[in-house]
Amino acid sequence: MIFHITTIEAWDKYKLNHEYQCDSLKKEGFIHCSTQSQIIIIANTFYSNHDQLIVLKINPDKLLSELKWESPVHPNPNMHHNINNTEKFPHIYGVINLDAVEKITYLCKNNRGLFEYVF
């Protein structure tokens, strides 16, 4: 399984089109995803200005768009982050067909202001 972090608003907006996309698809040509173990560091590094997010659990075998495992791409190279540059991340080169999304989980902050993920 692979995972995509997004906002509730973005999910609600795009699912009406029976497929999900996001700004990175238009700007960078792909949708950023992660493995289960990468979710929390990604959320706390790049989404710290949000109070609540959702995580799409995606079955890669059901994706209609191309999936590639690549080195991390950081949208802001001046941002301090703790992303391991040797890890590979899943990138989806196209929209996410909704039948590939098997589960949606809320990602909330704890009392220290950090995201926690409950599986």
Computed over every residue of the chain, the mean pLDDT equals 88
Domain hosting 93: range is: 2-116
How many distinct structural domains can be found in the chain? 1
Residue 81 CA to residue 46 CA, distance in Å, equals 8
Whole-number Cα distances in Å, 49 to 21, 43, 109? 21, 10, 11
Residue 45: phi and psi, rounded to 5, are -85, -45
Q: Write out the two tokens for 63.
A: 């994706």
CATH number of residue 97's parent domain: 3.20.170.20
Contact 73, 32 (CB under 8 A): yes
- Judged by DSSP in three states, 14 sits in helix
* pLDDT tens across the length of the chain (119 residues): 999 999 999 999 888 888 999 989 999 999 999 999 999 989 998 898 998 899 999 999 999 999 999 987 665 555 455 566 678 999 999 999 999 999 999 998 999 999 986 65
Residue 40 CA to residue 107 CA, distance in Å, equals 9
